[in-house]
Structures are given as structure tokens and as C-alpha cells.
Amino acid sequence: MKKLLFLMTLISSLVIHAQDTGSIEGTITETSGMPLAGAAVYIKTLDKGGVTDFDGNFTIENVTEGTYTVSISYIGFQTQEQSVSVTSGSVTKLQVQLSESNSVLDEVIITAGKKPQKITDVPATVNVITAREIEEFPSFNIGELAARQKGVDFVRSGVLGTGINIRGFNSAFNSKNLQVTDDRLSTLIATGLPMGSFSTVSKDDISRVEILLGPNGTLYGPNAHNGLVSTITKNPRQSEGTTFAVGAGNQNVLTARLRHAQVINDKFAYKVHFERSQGTEFNYVDSVYVGTTAYKELDLDRDFDSQKYGASLFYKPTKSSELSGYYGHSNSNNIAVTNAGRNQIKDWSIDVAQLKFVSKHFFANTYYTWSNTDDTYAMNQRTQNYVSFINNGFSEEEALERSFTEQWLQTGPNQGDGIALQRGAVFKDASRRFNAEAQYNNNWNQFYVTLGAQYQLDMADSKGTYLLDEGGIDLDQTGVYTQLEYKLEDSGWGFLLGGRIDNHELYGSNFIPKAAITKKVKNGTFRVTYGKGIAVPSILNLKGNLFGGLVLGNGEGFTLTDGTKIEKLDVENINSYEIGFKGQLSEKLFIDTNAYYNQSDNFISPLRNIADAANGNNVTHIGDQPIGDVVEGSDGSFILTYLNFGHVDTYGLDVGLNYYFTDSFRTSLNYSYFGRDLDKDDLDNDGNLDGQVLESELPINTPNHKFSVGVHYNKGKFYGALYGRFVEKYDFFSGINVAAETQDQDGDGVNEIVEDAQVGRTWNYGQLGGFSVDANAGYNFNDRLSLGLNITNLFNAKNREFVASPIVETLVSFELKYKINFFNKSTSTIN
């Protein structure tokens, strides 16, 4: 009897409870009617919510009777809040349309914390290149959009070549800004350089690009040192349809693209993309010096082209989880700038395969990357090789053939007396990389936790051409990280503490901490942050063997004739302190500003000659091995390698302002200042070991002042932007490359650097920088057809933006785009 009474009481309690609760159901779409899968619907006071399915539908059950504020957010769209009344025993319907974010404060980003966050909640400076900006930029090279971001050093080496740097220490071989695409590293395996134009992703498949300023090593690992660039592609469930695009411009530029995305059913969706671009670089020839005589680069091919394609399949095991697989391929031919001259890239291909699982609290990711080239070569070295044979009486045919692998050294008085040195100019690559990551995140009321682990195995293989890699080079590293956040919503305070232990096969364990305090005020958020970043030497830094041993990696250290020991490379590190504010100064004026102070140690230097043959002080050993055993025929009289050196404090300020005259017309203003404090009495800062500390030895290569202003218009069928950019003239030193004003570096009364003259092994055209204006405009004839025009360097300013590169002249491009959307239903909006 007691059991029966207990059962009846339990049932009665459940019924009464059910009568006191109701549920909320609804649909979330964008303004066109396209459903938004993965949108977050959240009731803050109950800490209860859900995620929309592929149709944009959601259900929140067991909601206690009452009136609540429901928040709806999705990456790239304005967050909306709706007041909803729930009645016991009934279902409340909610249908909401989200608009693309026009305000910098409405943005939701994902990169900073590896989860969706409103941009004002992120304790970091973040620039966002939105889907709309990409859509309305009628050029095949969206890298140009990085020039419009605050705190970013944008450089251009020609029609195709664009690159960015953040907060100093740039070079022609800059690997300190980590680049990722859809949670996979977008960097070359042996060098660690950003893939750039080698990327397998097509323009029309890019949803957004998020650029984080400053170290982000805690969540992303080594080499998120100065900053992080994250590219996020479109999910087919929010971008169903077909896009055809063709473009053309001066410099013989032609481009054609195709993207197709389709939802098959509530479980499966897919997308495919293809792109081909081609053109001709500006008419520029870099000087190759043999002694004091300059020669043109041999067999210079200024034509460039790239092909890329890829496909993704998406599967939803449950409403709130998704499994996706991706394969992408690219093949490129172009010219690339390096520290030792320019490379002729020949059929360099990248392949990547990825499998990723995402759910509300769990994330798992694994991918494999292939890199292949057999015919890429260094133009500088090949030209020197060719000249050595021609000057010693060899035929044109033989000189051309042998220039890929050998250099002739004359040893006697007669022409033809001599020996052939192995001075290979060819770069082959058959490198591979495997990555895996798992992450768990959750929150309990005001406490949020993220836990994760990453593994990376680099398998470098240059086929013996540019690495000391007989049998290949395998290096692995593992990282374990956690990030804890505590948010006091009522008072607006937020606290973040994170840490990562990264274990490298060669460098053991490194601890990478992170901390932040944020305070929300009525119209914005203040923040104070600390972060550490590390730059691990690349495989090229450690095991390089270029041009017959003239350039060697420093993975084991060196010994000189007099017994001097050159220590092997260690990890470079930076400690960064930052304060900032992101918010609203008035109804129409928004600001995002920061000030930072960095302490950098143990720089990985540009290439330095460590031998002193004039005084008989040659390199005798690499590690414990005689140099002749490692590099056949080398006498150690001239060895270029990488060193750790020095300490420098850098500091700066970034200010970004956006003023909205109307919803369709705004202006933006960006300003950045960068300064440094170099102790010239500290011989640890003597990068070339000559007993003097010179500014040119420290690879700062960053202007003190940058300023830009833009106007943006989008209304009805017309859109357009006008953008002016000023970069203060600045010196740039990188390996053999010099772009600097005339100067006496060591105070001896002699100008070691002379503008418009030969300096070392290059011609110095003078400082980089200047002022230029870009413009773009377009017209949407209807929902399907649009035509756009882009003009880079509108007034043809004669600026040189990078070393070993031409003056960037006016570039004009047109783009015609045709879209077929598969989904076009209307959905009412609750206001």
C-alpha cells in the first residue's frame, strides 16, 4: 500500500510540474528566408537553450511559466533578443529573421575562444573581414582586404603576392603570424610560411576572415606569435545554391570560379568548388650580383597561374552535432620573394584531407596535408651558376643545363681550369603533415571551461635538395591546453585564465599562459590582457642545406677554427601586455582601440655569415661532425645560418573608428603607432657577432605610423567603397634584401647603406611605404546577376611595398557573377 501511495504521489508531482512548464519552438532564418542551422537560442536567466537544426528549427522544453528574454545569435549576424511569454502546458511559437551584422558591436566571432562569442566579450583585438565585404570585393585576390584592417602591416610583392604582418618583426620569410583555415593549419610544412596563394579554398566559399592581433598561442600553439589569421568557409546548409563568376583585368588577369552547395536531406549536405586564375606579374627583374656585376634573373617567367578545387560532405548524426569531411587541392606557378632572392615556383601542389566532428560541447578534428614540387628553383643561385659556366667558356646549352645543380669554380689561369661545385638551385618537396585535435567545452551558470589537446607530426622530405634530410625528417609536438572563464553578468566583470603546455621533440616543454580581465559598461567593454607567444624554429631553420652548404640550418650548433661555439637555435618568445576598449562613443560612432607593450627575447635572426675566412676562422664542425662529413666539399669559409639573439621591448597603439551616417553609409578610420626600445650597449643584441649593435640587425621592418580612411556605401542595388592608406616610409632588412635610406650605421663616417645603389648582393631602391587609394563598386541587376569593378592604386602612386619586388602600379579588375539560390521562402518576423 505504501508503494502504491508513493507511486501516486510521484505521478501527481510530475503532472503538477508538467502543468507548470511549457516549451518554446520556432524557426531562425536570415532575411532572405534561408534557414540558419547552428544558430544559438538561449534563455540567460534559466541557463537553458538550444541549437537550430538544418531547417533552422529549434525546441526548448520544460520552461517554467513566465516571461523571458530569449537571445538568438549566429556568426556574422546581429544578435537579437526577443521577449517571450511561456504558458504552462502549451507551446510558444517564435520565428526570427537575423540580419547580417552592420555594426562592429553586433559581430559574433569564433576564432578567439574556439567558440561563438559576441565580439565585445572577446578579451582581444579582432578584425573581421565579413561575408558581405568579400561578396562586394570584385577581385580574385581577397588578400587585398587585409590592407583595410587596423593594426595590420599589409605588403604587396606584385599582382599576386600579398601578405600581412602584425606588430613588428617582419621579413621576406615571415612565419610569426599563424594562419588557419577551418581549424587546419594553412602553412607550408618545412618552412612554416603561410600558404597564401597555395590555399586550396576558393574565394566564393569563404564566409569570413578573423584577424586576431597579438599572441594567441594558448589555444593555437607555437607560431601564433604576433597574431592569428583564421579563414572560415561556408556551411552548405546556410549557402545552398550555385555561383558562377568570371573576372578579368590588366596584367592579363583572367579568373573563373564555380561553387555549388546543396542540402540533400535532414542528414546530408555537400558543396564543391573550383577556381582558376592566371595573369602576368609587373615587368620587374631583380638584380643578381656576381662580384660587382649585375645580371638579369635567368629564364624569368612572369606569367602566373593557380588552380584549386575541393569538396565537402556534411552529415548530422543528431540535431546538434555535425560530421564533415573535406578534400582540397591547389597547383601554383608564380614568383616568390625569399631572404636569399626570388624563387620561380613551378607546379607546386598542396593537397589536404580533413575529418571534423562538432557538437555542443565536443570538438574533434584530424587532417593530413601533402606538399609536392619537383621543378621549383632559386633564380638568384641558378643565375650565378649559369654565369660561372658562361664566363669559363662553356656553351650556352651546357651552361643552362648545369645551372640547376652546379657552379663552376675556376682554379687555374686558363679558361676551363676548375671544378664543378654542387650549388643546387632546385627545390624539390614531398613533405607531409598529420594533425589531430580534441576539445571539450561547457559552462555551469557563470563558469565556462575549455579543455583540449593537439598533436602534430611534420614529415619533411626535400629529396636531398634543400634540407639535410637523407631518409626524411620527422618532428612531432603535442600541446595540452585549458581556458577558464568566470562571468559576472550583473556587474559586467569577466575573468579569464588559460594555459598551455607544448612539448616539442627537440625543445621539450614550453608553458604558454594567458590571462584577461574584462569590464562591461553601458556602451562597451574594457579589457586588460596578458599573453605569451612562442616561435619554434622551422625545419628549414634547423635542417636547411641550400646551395651546396652555403646556407645551413642551425639545429645542432657550430664550432669555428678558434674554438668559438655557436649555440643551436632555441625557441623565440614574446610576452605581451595589452589594454583596450571596444564600444560605442555615441549613437553612431564606434571605437575599437588598444595599447600594448611587448617584451621579445631570443630572436631567430635573418641569415648571418658566421665564418671569418679573412682571418682564417672557418666553420669546422656542425654539432659533433666535421663540416666536410655533413656537406661534401665544404671548407666552412662562408656559412649563412640562423642565430638566436637579443632582447627588445616594443610598444604601440591601434585605433579603429567607425561612424554610421545611415544604415547604408559609413566611414572608417584606422591609425597605428609602433615603437621600440633597443639597448645598443647590450651585445646580446649583436645579431651578426661583429661587436656592434646596429638597427639593421634587428628585424623590426615595421613603420612607426600607419593611417587609413575609408567610406563604404551599400543601398538597394548599388555598393561601393573608397579607401586611402598611408604608410610612413621605413627601412626593411631581410637576408640579402635591403630597402633603406642612405645611412651610416656604425658611426665611422662612411655610409654603409646607400640608396639607389648596390648594397651587398642586391640593389637598394630605398625605403618602403607611401600613400595610395583603392576603390571598388558594383551593381546588382537582380538577385542573381551582379557586376563589380575594383581598382587598386587608383592614382598610380609609385610606391614600392616590398623588397625584391616591383612598384605596384594601378590594377583594374572586373567581375561578373551569377547566382542560383535553391531556397527562397519568406518567414514572418516577431518584433
pLDDT tens-place string over residues 701-748: 899 999 999 999 988 899 999 999 999 999 998 888 999 999 988 778
Residue 55 to residue 518: CA distance in whole angstroms:
36
The set of cell numbers assigned to 652 is 604601440
User: Cell match 578579368: residue?
Assistant: 248
Quick one: CATH architecture of 2-98? Answer: Sandwich (2.60)
pLDDT for 120: 56
* Side-chain-facing half-sphere of 451: CA atoms under 13 Å: 5
Residue 800 reports pLDDT greater than 60 = yes
Rounded mean pLDDT, 513-535: 91
pLDDT at residue 253, rounded to an integer? 97
- Alpha carbon separation from 191 to 71, 196, 543, 548 (Å, rounded): 45, 13, 10, 18
Task: With H, G, I as helix, E, B as strand and everything else as coil, classify residue 144.
Answer: helix
For residue 566, pLDDT beyond 70 = yes
Q: How much is the pLDDT for 103?
A: 52
Does residue 1 surpass a pLDDT of 90? no
Q: What is the pLDDT of residues 90-136, one digit of tens each?
A: 888 888 888 765 555 555 545 555 556 555 566 778 888 888 889 89
Tell me the CA distances in angstroms from 38 to 29, 208, 267, 438, one per residue in order: 11, 16, 14, 20
| Per-residue model confidence as pLDDT tens digits over 372-392 | 999 999 999 999 999 999 999
Q: What is the mean pLDDT of residues 37-44?
A: 77
- Over residues 359-369, mean pLDDT: 93
* pLDDT beyond 80 at 685: no
Contact criterion met (CB below 8 Å) for 754 and 733: no
The pLDDT-based confidence of 418 (bands split at 50, 70, 90) is confident
Task: Answer yes or no: are the C-beta atoms of 618 and 563 closer than 8 Å.
Answer: no
What are the pLDDT digits (tens) for 77-88? 777 888 888 888
Residues in CB range of 168: below 8 A, 6 or more apart: 226, 598, 650, 674, 676, 700, 701, 702
Q: Is 387 helix (H, G, I), strand (E, B) or coil?
A: helix
Q: How many whole angstroms separate alpha carbon 142 and alpha carbon 136?
A: 10
- The pLDDT of residue 15 is 46
Please give the model's pTM, rounded to 2 decimal places. 0.86
Q: What percent of the chain has pLDDT over 90?
A: 51
339-343-347 Cα angle (round to 5): 140
| CA–CA gap between residue 121 and residue 580 (Å, rounded) | 12
pLDDT of residue 233: 93
Residues paired with residue 499 on neighbouring β-strands, in sequence order: 482, 513
* Most confident of the following: 165-174, 254-263, 514-523, 635-644: 254-263
Residue 342: band (very low, low, confident or very high) from pLDDT cuts 50, 70, 90: very high
Contact 527, 518 (CB under 8 A): yes
Beta strands per DSSP E along 568-664: 572-584, 589-604, 608-609, 619-622, 625-626, 640-641, 644-662
386: left (phi over 0), alpha (psi -120 to 50) or beta: alpha
- Cα atoms in the 13 Å half-sphere on the side-chain side of 298: 22
The pLDDT of residue 825 is above 60: no
> According to CATH, where is 2.40.170.20 located in the chain?
117-536+571-607+642-821
Query: What mean pLDDT, rounded, does the chain reach?
Result: 87
Position 14 scores a pLDDT of 46
| pLDDT over 90 (residue 168) | no
Q: Which of 530, 513, 601 is nearest to 217 (CA)?
A: 513
Query: Would you say residue 512 has pLDDT above 60?
Result: yes
Mean pLDDT, range 618-622, rounded to an integer: 91
- The answer for residues whose C-beta is within 8 angstroms of residue 62's C-beta and 6 or more apart is 21, 23
Q: Which CATH superfamily is domain 117-536+571-607+642-821 in?
A: TonB-dependent receptor, beta-barrel domain (2.40.170.20)
Most confident of 129-138, 307-316, 417-426: 307-316
Beta-carbon contacts of residue 770 (< 8 Å; ≥ 6 apart): 726, 727, 729, 797, 798, 799, 800, 801
Q: In the prediction, which pLDDT does 122 show? A: 67
Q: For residue 71, what pLDDT is reported?
A: 85
Q: What percent of the chain has pLDDT over 70?
A: 91
Residues in contact with 727: Cβ distance below 8 Å, sequence separation at least 6, in sequence order: 703, 706, 768, 769, 770, 771
Q: Tell me the per-residue pLDDT of 540-562, one tens digit each, with 9 for 90 and over.
A: 899 989 888 888 999 999 999 98
**How does strand 341-359 pair with strand 418-422?**
unpaired
Where do the CATH 2.60.40.1120 domains begin and end in the chain?
Answer: 2-98
